[in-house]
A and B are shown apart, each in its own frame.
Chain A
């Protein structure tokens, strides 16, 4: 279904949601950065900047409690976290490269094990995406088969119109339901032109060809030259909308504490450290190889998708200037 909404009505809609006690999360200024955070009012919404971190944390927080324990004598008391406590949430102003990562995460969090923490939040969230009209030279969604107005992952997609306001397209039942609930704020499309979309500079990559090379080149000298500069931090994985590795740890004392799930990264030297002390990925090029393999081969093998949406965040934050798009171009050229 297609509708239209004015900028003023969009802001009114956000304020109405907030008045109803609805949790609304969108890009907002947070100190020196723009981050996806709960909005306190419609005026908080920032629509012209890609947030520093991705939307994945709406479902997969940086750190969350899984259970609490308390021990007294021989008595051990365990307390589960109630997934019902996760609030209904509307995500608004989500960039298509972020929204497109959500179905990618769905696949992995509901595959053999149903991750209730991820899935409960996911079920209670409506995603309102917003098409991009500007891109910087790190953006490369179009190179990995997406686009600045890709509807993947969005329940509703907003595309800016030439005279102001947005074209609204529903992409799911959740989207339809949202339009029905708030129908007064929307109007029928009046045929206004949508604004010109962003045009990321990188040419489309041949992901099949890249995967074919990866299939045959687990061992290759290229990994050393590509990754020798990698210093082994987790910045790329942590800002990535699709990276989803985590660790679990018990914190507290012998008497009481919490079990927590928190982000982990394949760039870390301890990521594959075995209890024996042996580490199969003992050098950084092997760890970086895993990053590329997981995104463009393993995930594809298993789920038929690529684990990268071309948001370019890893390119922007890498301390040593590793440019995943450049790495892919290099592999494609082999």
Chain B
């Protein structure tokens, strides 16, 4: 049965992030704060970069604050102000991506001021941004979330997140369904999914880990992957991206959320995460690791694949 999820704490969180942003901008702790602001349509939101304390009142937090703002810190987004320390609003899932980027030496912790959100969940889609947050409309990633309260931030509003009700583990269930298929059935499933791709690269552009300055897919001298939105190039693109993200993806689920063609991209990433957990006992978290599971060697690494 559909249950409403209590997000009454979000107004207190909004007040707290406004106050903190005002404080750190007025005392010049930071030069800018990246957060969320309300959009024109009822309930809609969009990312915003504010640089003055007067603009702090534009910041909000609501169930429609889906974006992983960490993407704005990467070198793929070189037009966001880079002078001095930058404040950023992060949910637990976003923070795990940020921690991953710290581990990959893409960011320096001392250049950041982290405003963590005690998160009670966000919507799965912005097609209806004013929708109520319920056990139906909540994002799939939230259904399996164990990181509602971010750890290691500079500021977290003193609000306790609503404990999530017992939610259907959508990814786990879907992965189990796919694992139960035989390889040709599974191939058919993914072939159909990838055939929908129109190569808009929204998945790549919102991904904090897609910070390559030259994506292999954009190379044309020589061409490495078919550029056109056809089965061959689409499949190559999505599998290549899944492999490149294995052991790095923090599960923010943005790739899947933004796909205008409803391709369940995060399923690939969740499956890789599951393998990484099983094989290397490795998963994305709040602790910075200098080397990921696939970029380091340990004597007890699984070697069963060598025959």
Using a CB–CB distance below 8 Å, which chain A residues touch chain B?
A: 31-33, 52-53, 62-63, 137-138, 224, 228-229, 231-235, 237-239, 247, 249, 251, 260, 262-263, 265, 268, 270, 283-285, 315-317, 319-323, 325-326, 329
Contact = CB atoms under 8 A, between A and B. Distances in A.
B71 A321 contact: no
Given A231-B205, A238-B260, A249-B227, A284 B40 contact: no
A234 B229 contact: no
Contacts of B223: 249, 251
13 contacts: A31-B262, A229-B46, A229-B48, A231-B77, A231-B206, A234-B199, A249-B220, A265-B200, A268-B201, A317-B258, A320-B67, A321-B67, A325-B40
Contact of B39 (A231, A262, A321): A321
Interface string B220-261: 100100111110010000000000000000000010011011
Contacts of A138: 41
Contacts of A235: 200, 202, 258, 260
Contact of B41 (A63, A238, A315, A329): A315
A137, A283, A320: most-surrounded residue (chain B CB, <10 A): A320
Contacts of B77: 231, 284
A325 B261 CA distance: 23
Contacts of A228: 49, 79-80
A321 B205 contact: no
A265 B220 CA distance: 17
Interface residues of B, number: 44
A64 to B, nearest CB: 9
Consensus secondary structure, chain B interface: loop
A233 B205 contact: yes
B228 A33 contact: no
B261 A231 contact: no
Most buried by A among B200, B218, B229, B258: B200
Give 8 nearest A-B pairs by CB, closest first: A321-B46, A319-B258, A326-B40, A233-B202, A233-B205, A234-B200, A231-B205, A283-B79
Contact of A316 (B127, B199, B206): B127
B194 to A, nearest CB: 13
Contact of A319 (B49, B196, B206, B230): B206
A321 B226 contact: no
Contacts of B230: 63, 260
B39 A33 contact: no
A260 B226 CA distance: 11
A326 B38 CA distance: 12
A229 B72 CA distance: 8
Interface string B22-54: 000000000000000001111011111100000
Contact of B229 (A229, A262, A283): A262
B151 interface: no
A329 B260 contact: no
Contact of B198 (A229, A260, A263, A315): A263
